Structure 1
Amino acid sequence: MSGSPPTPAGPLPGRPESYWMDTTPATSYAPLAEDIEVDVAVVGGGIAGLSTAWEAARRGRTVAVLEADRVAAGVTGYTTAKLSSLHSLVYEQLRSTRGPEAARLYARSQQEAVERVAAISTEIGVDCRLERAPAYTYTVLPERRDELRAEAAAAAEAGLPAEYTEATGLPFDVAGAVRVADQAQFHPREYLLALAEDLRARGGVVHERTRVTGLEEGAPCRVTAESGHTVTAKAVVVATHYPVFDRALLFARLSANRELVVAAPLAAGRDPRGMYITQDEGKRSVRTAPYGDGGRLLIVTGEGFTPGTGDAAAGFRALDAWMRERFDVGGTVYRWAAQDNSVTDGVPMVGPFHPGARNTYVATGFGGWGMSGGVMAGTLLSGLIDGEKSPWSDLYDPRRLLSTVREAPALLGQQAEVAKHFVGDRLKSSHVDSVDEIPAGSGAVVRVEGSRCAVHRDEDGALHAVSARCTHLGCLVAFNEAETTWECPCHGSRFATDGSVLQGPATRPLERRELPGS
């Protein structure tokens, strides 16, 4: 976790659910039940997958979306849903590492994605509570003012209406900020559920509870679901957030990060009227959404950690305390967590899956900016499938080499962290010596008859044991008590206490284990 001050123990704030999930209906698209053939198969039903599928269908392609769980219910259902081309401090970094033209292309592609959501919302007639608002990257530290001034200059040079300011709508003083006007915020599930229905009206099909476990590239390609049914397609797009196939070795350049979210009602007159983010204080992100009868819901994000390593319970309490110290809010009504993947050079990977790719494409590594990034991916990939290369295809191409020597330290550091968990977690002792030490509602990795087991004791005292080895690449999982999940610290796979996959890149469940005497 971050360096936030200790917060008292006690009940966690709010109800453990995403506001976006709680205020939209559940979906129930049928699983794939037969072999089918389409022009484009999209693996993953989040914003990148659904945007790509919709754009391809709009171009006249036959499309199938294959989602392991429910559409718009994974990462997209737990986002903060900012639609912005101001992505923290990306422009000065891009200008320094890849040149001014790369920064301009990034700005143009992301801003066009913001406008694309507004245009599509109007075209398909969905009220997704889209609101225009300025975006701010701010600091409370005077020594960082020059960094913010440089970012404002780089963003303006890239073509955005960016300016440096020391005035914001926040109820506390800031030392400096970058401001970009006319950005947007929306309800992501209302938008995407309407997009899915419009996709079906255009002849596309959506299959939920259809986990894809196999991919054959070629002309045509073929994807296989765990049920054994196949989809034959002229093109396949892997949009599973973290790619579920490792043939491209993209995982070597991706790192997973989990961030916590708390939300509380706020009087409309106290709305800060903007979207805010800072890297100070362990990172904080702030926005509001319509809530109740004319009120607002304040949504605060932060306290990030690598899955399987952080104390989520302490993080939720720290984040809630920060919100209450700075905003006049009511009782916390929601808490949830979002997971993102970042690329070592800071730019998402969207395009051909790998150097020898045959009609296969990928979208990943949005680094916390998946709303604009996912929509951008939809337009870029649907064009590539039709043989049309966008002006920014090279910028996002997953086959690009390390952009500069400045990326190498990040890459080496990331792989050292993975190696630490892969080897070190096997050398250190278990969290507890026996299952008898595990309290109700908790879990731990325990050595049982020579093998490491991930053991959870539910609130009724019953024990549930599974293998502690992640089925992706074999790292040892750790228990997230606040979310009651097993998480892999190497590449971010997450599992339920019964071993079932909640989030990839793993595609196979943790194996069940029998405990002595059970």
Structure 2
Amino acid sequence: MSRLPDAGRSYWMRTASFPSFAPLSAPAEADVAVIGTGIAGLSTAWELVRAGLNVIVLEADRLAGGVTGHTTGKLTALHTSVYDTLRSKHGDEAARDYADSQSAALQRVFDIAEELGIDCELERRPALTYCEQPDGADALRAEAEAARAAGLDASFVTETGLPFPVAGAVQVEDQAQFHPLKYLRGLVDDIVARGGRIHEGARVTRLDEGDPYRLTTEAGATVSARHVVVAAHHPVFDHAVLAPRLTQHRDLVVAGSLPADRDPRGMYITTEGGKRSVRTSPLANGNRLLIVTGEAFTPGSGEDTEAGYARLESWTERHFPGVSISHRWAAQDNSSTDTVPLVGRLPTAGENVYVATGFAGWGMTGGVMAGALIASLVGGAPQRWAGLYDPGRIASAAQSAPAFLKAQWDTGQHFVKDRLNTFGEGTAGPVRDLRPGEGTVVRADGKPCAVHRDDQGELHAVSAVCTHLGCIVAFNNAERTWECPCHGSRFGIDGEVVQGPALHPLERQDPGGL
């Protein structure tokens, strides 16, 4: 497999730029505080500042450097096979509301891009969910019928623009794709122009209820706000109600140049073979950038991530001969156990704290939808589909009980089994045998310790206990991060938080005695 420079930094991050914003250094007040600068957070901030509210946006690291910065950038209301599931679990009205809300979000991107003059490579394309195996065709026929009944221009087809045959596909016309970070740069510029305030390096570690709410950052700065929006990928201030209803997954991405005349001219996805997703993006030389996603896995599961990249690269070169892989990165998302994202009031934090999470890999339309929905709740005029996405919904949670219980079983298994495995191993052997770039979890003074040997041969050691809820992390050998299998927190080799819900770093350990 090819070795790529700056591997892990997405194409979007390499080809878009944002201004820098100073950390929060003094107490601040606002009508609304928004936590997170992905598409959900910035869409919400833009909708609210456009409505005339005083908005402050707090980002733990750099703008759009999390989930949105690593997306594939599809704007579509066709989300794999969601409509047949929605119709059977939640009814026809829920399926129609889902289709309407996601379609409205797609159109909202076009409207905002035109209003603000944003050049974000916005292109109309059909979206297709396909299968290569004949035994998957009947399910896609059912999905096409359900999507059509929900109001989408959907059909079942057997011919596509892919350079290989398929057994069938659901096709929805007039969907779209874009450069997500160029779009967000337009929102950021307009938020600032309208008086909104943005702070980077302002990780929020505490939320105190009151009137107003009080937020405290890692550096000790505070914000007082009448409304708070938690759009940080995970409901970081809710451990009991929403967190157990979310499952984490991570997908690998590879990309390379493709001649324009070989563009499949569509956005494709299949759940077969570890999932495969295909789209293209325009390049300055007239070619197209082929973007292929797949090899889905649970963070912290101990998967050989390098081997996953090798399989994805091999699949890409086999199906699109001549493509030379020039970029690779990974995307992380979470899914709710009842299929529908969780957008609205955070059940455990009072009337004026809102959350946006659980987009199941469809956060581009989902994030734009969330921005408009939360703005309508703050303004006191909820959109008609607010109940569908309500994080406090009970009926749908009850219907998803099997998925919920499985998620809790998996988390419990990790919590107990990983400890038994860790405490059952010695220390000297695994650490001594570590080669540059490798990592392992061992026992040190009776406690689990995560150890990495860098390219120069130096050891780095941190506690292996995730600071979120105490599960044991595992090493990702491609991205060189420590990852929690329970709720998806990710840490650097020296313990710094890369991705929440964890708010605090892993404690550093002395590697000298290992």
Equivalent of residue 220 in structure 1, options 196, 203, 212: 212
Distance 1:406 1:276 in 2: 30
Distance 1:403 1:431 in 2: 46
Q: In structure 2, what is the equivalent of residue 305 of structure 1?
A: 297
Runs (4+) of structure 1 exceeding 6 A deviation are: none
Q: In structure 2, what is the equivalent of residue 325 of structure 1?
A: 318
The question of 1:150 aligning with 2:150 is answered no
Alignment of 1:21-420 (within 5 A): 21-247=13-239, 249-309=241-301, 310-354=303-347, 357-403=350-396, 406-420=399-413
Residues 1:12 and 1:402: Cα distance change in structure 2 (over 3 Å):
farther
Identity %: 57
Q: Would the aligned equivalents of 1:12 and 1:313 in 2 still touch at CA under 8 Å?
A: no
Deviation at 1:228, TM superposition (A): 1.0
Residues 1:421 and 1:197: Cα distance change in structure 2 (over 3 Å):
same
Distance 1:156 1:71 in 2: 37
Q: Would the aligned equivalents of 1:217 and 1:358 in 2 still touch at CA under 8 Å?
A: no
Distance 1:15 1:174 in 2: 35
Residues 1:396 and 1:471: Cα distance change in structure 2 (over 3 Å):
same
Distance 1:444 1:393 in 2: 45
Residues 1:11 and 1:452: Cα distance change in structure 2 (over 3 Å):
farther
The residue identity in structure 2 corresponding to 1:446 is V
Q: Would the aligned equivalents of 2:430 and 2:440 in 1 still touch at CA under 8 Å?
A: no
SS at match of 2:165: coil
Greater Cα shift, 323-332 or 298-307: 323-332
Equivalent of residue 506 in structure 1, options 502, 505, 512: 502
Distance 1:398 1:203 in 2: 30
Deviation at 1:329, TM superposition (A): 3.7
Structure 1 residues not aligned, in runs of 5+: 1-9
Residues 1:255 and 1:492: Cα distance change in structure 2 (over 3 Å):
same
Q: In structure 2, what is the equivalent of residue 441 of structure 1?
A: 437
Deviation at 1:402, TM superposition (A): 4.7
The residue identity in structure 2 corresponding to 1:426 is R
Deviation at 1:406, TM superposition (A): 4.6
Q: In structure 1, what is the equivalent of residue 463 of structure 2?
A: 467
Q: In structure 2, what is the equivalent of residue 6 of structure 1?
A: none
SS at match of 2:325: coil
Q: Would the aligned equivalents of 1:63 and 1:205 in 2 still touch at CA under 8 Å?
A: yes
Distance 2:324 2:171 in 1: 30
Deviation at 1:27, TM superposition (A): 3.9
Q: In structure 2, what is the equivalent of residue 451 of structure 1?
A: 447
Q: Would the aligned equivalents of 2:207 and 2:213 in 1 still touch at CA under 8 Å?
A: yes
Distance 2:397 2:509 in 1: 46
Residue by residue over 1:463-490, the C-alpha shift from the partner in whole angstroms, topping out at 9 and shown as x without a partner, is 1111010000011111101001000001
Q: Would the aligned equivalents of 1:345 and 1:402 in 2 still touch at CA under 8 Å?
A: no
Residues 1:382 and 1:174: Cα distance change in structure 2 (over 3 Å):
same
SS at match of 1:189: helix
Distance 1:149 1:116 in 2: 29
Deviation at 1:311, TM superposition (A): 1.5
Q: In structure 2, what is the equivalent of residue 7 of structure 1?
A: none
Distance 1:111 1:400 in 2: 22
Aligned length: 509
Residues 1:12 and 1:416: Cα distance change in structure 2 (over 3 Å):
farther
Deviation at 1:330, TM superposition (A): 2.5
Distance 1:214 1:95 in 2: 39
Q: Would the aligned equivalents of 1:217 and 1:359 in 2 still touch at CA under 8 Å?
A: no
Residue by residue over 1:78-130, the C-alpha shift from the partner in whole angstroms, topping out at 9 and shown as x without a partner, is 00010000000000000001100000000000000000001101111110000
Residues 1:404 and 1:236: Cα distance change in structure 2 (over 3 Å):
closer
Residues 1:212 and 1:307: Cα distance change in structure 2 (over 3 Å):
same
Root-mean-square deviation over aligned CA pairs: 1.4
Q: In structure 2, what is the equivalent of residue 480 of structure 1?
A: 476
SS at match of 1:379: helix
Distance 1:11 1:278 in 2: 25
Q: Would the aligned equivalents of 2:241 and 2:348 in 1 still touch at CA under 8 Å?
A: no
The residue identity in structure 2 corresponding to 1:218 is G
Q: Would the aligned equivalents of 1:14 and 1:262 in 2 still touch at CA under 8 Å?
A: no
Q: Would the aligned equivalents of 1:97 and 1:404 in 2 still touch at CA under 8 Å?
A: no
Deviation at 1:449, TM superposition (A): 2.2
Residues 1:141 and 1:496: Cα distance change in structure 2 (over 3 Å):
same
SS at match of 1:276: strand
Distance 1:452 1:149 in 2: 50
Residues 1:40 and 1:277: Cα distance change in structure 2 (over 3 Å):
same
TM-score, normalised via structure 2 length: 0.97
Greater Cα shift, 459-468 or 402-411: 402-411
Deviation at 1:14, TM superposition (A): 7.1
Deviation at 1:242, TM superposition (A): 1.1
Residue by residue over 1:381-435, the C-alpha shift from the partner in whole angstroms, topping out at 9 and shown as x without a partner, is 0110011111100000000115165511111111111011100001114496442
Deviation at 1:13, TM superposition (A): 6.1
Q: Would the aligned equivalents of 2:36 and 2:231 in 1 still touch at CA under 8 Å?
A: yes
Q: Would the aligned equivalents of 1:217 and 1:360 in 2 still touch at CA under 8 Å?
A: no
Q: Would the aligned equivalents of 2:238 and 2:348 in 1 still touch at CA under 8 Å?
A: no
Deviation at 1:287, TM superposition (A): 0.3
Distance 1:49 1:336 in 2: 22
Distance 1:402 1:340 in 2: 24
Greater Cα shift, 448-457 or 501-510: 448-457
The residue identity in structure 2 corresponding to 1:175 is A
Deviation at 1:246, TM superposition (A): 2.1
SS at match of 2:182: helix
